[in-house]
Amino acid sequence: MTTTLPHPVTDARDGEDLSVWPASTRVAPHGDLTVGGVSLAELAERFGTPVYLLDEDEVRGRCRAYRQAFPDAEILYAAKAFLCRAMAHWVREEGLGLDVCSRGELELAVTTGFPPEQMVLHGNAKSPDELDAALRLGVGRIVIDSTAEIARIAALVPQGARQKVLLRIAPGIAAGAHPAIRTGTVDQKFGLASTDGSAQHAVARVLEQPRLELVGLHCHLGSQITSVKPYVQAVRRLVGMLSWARQVHGVTLPELDLGGGHGIAYRPGETALDIRALAVRAQAELHSACTTVDLPVPRLTLEPGRAVVGPAGVVLYRVLSVKRTGRHTFVAIDGGMSDNPRPALYGAQYAPRLIGRVGSAELQPVNIVGRHCEAGDVLASGALLPSDIRPGDLLGVPAAGAYQVSMASGYNLVGRPPVVAVTGGTARLLVRRESLADLHHRDIGL
């Protein structure tokens, strides 16, 4: 079996680079594109804009690629990237488990039929309700993020039962595209460091709890990581902790969870994490490090989210206005930071494209801005679009499947967009558009 991720090539008909679009993307007449056999211009007319689409076959293909690259590992889809009932169903059918961070994610998946024993619950500040729900529903493992959680979780476990737990370690590795999404360093809110003895103390505390079963160590280095090197370093350091636990406490922990954070390309020419290289080097390091300390090789777990759903998504916007100043052209769209806060949070950049007509003018750099009352509501700076861009035009933005709808807000009381699945030339609604009635329904006081 090959481990090739779905990946389109330059379209031979007009030389257009579609490398960051879903693999099923094709150039259609009159400047249109199709994804999953569905016209993007027609989809925008049918569902309105903004609208998010997910290529179901791309999602499934990326799940399979992980299973093929890591045949002996456990692969958990990170629900925080994007979760709906269909997404939970797809990843379950493709043999992945689920990594959840809240009661909402947990209960949505369970009510969809996802086996709770195939889930892991994360979070640096889990509420009593979340822990109670996890234990009541039978979640497979809970990741302990602080010493305060140890007694709290143990007290909730029923008499005579044991809950499997992992201990999140901060390995002191700086990785990730932006400081706000680097979670493997020692001076941030996630995990327990071994450098100050916190991790060692937590191991001892967990082992003292008869209702907790420590099954392994966990780490998550950050997000949008495109190099294999930090993961190799993490394996080395966590194996050192596993070896310490056996020497000091006489326990052999059978699991090692490397988290996720696997980076994707948002614009042509950008680098994505090579999961085949990750599989080869991380597993080789794991075997080598364990052999060195005479330790049984633990089962590896990975938690990809963005790398599964990000490249499968496209968002469509309608241009509302074009404003030309002395130095800049501002193209305002009918969405913005309420459906995609990433540019405002991290300075993320995208590669928008005109959809549904062929621009008759040369390309020029423009700033694509959102509709919200914030100067920082900028989707893309210096994006190349035809200079005849005008109100009513349709723009498509690829690599939009992760951390957009899942992080969407109700800012300015603008409803969140719908999500549509495409496959085999058909489109179906997965998540409907949030209406004004939805927003007003929650406001019950005067």
Q: Please identify every residue annotated as catalytic.
A: 373
Q: How far apart are CA 379 and CA 352, in angstroms?
A: 9
What is the 8-class DSSP label of residue 298? P
Helix (H/G/I), strand (E/B), else coil: 199: helix
> Which positions ≥6 away from 168 have C-beta within 8 Å?
122, 143, 144, 145, 190, 191, 192, 217, 218, 219, 220
- Cβ contact 399:7 at 8 Å: no
At 171, the amino acid letter reads: P
Among left, alpha and beta (phi > 0; psi -120 to 50; other), residue 364 is beta
- Cβ contact 53:419 at 8 Å: yes
> Which positions ≥6 away from 98 have C-beta within 8 Å?
76, 77, 79, 88, 91, 92, 109, 114, 118, 119, 120
- Residue written as token pair 């990730």: 176
Helix (H/G/I), strand (E/B), else coil: 402: coil
- Cβ contact 167:192 at 8 Å: yes
Pull the structure tokens for residue 188.
């941030």
DSSP strand pairing (119-121 vs 363-369): unpaired
> Which positions ≥6 away from 208 have C-beta within 8 Å?
none
Q: Which of 47, 52, 53 is nearest to 24 (CA)?
A: 53
Pull the structure tokens for residue 77.
């889809």
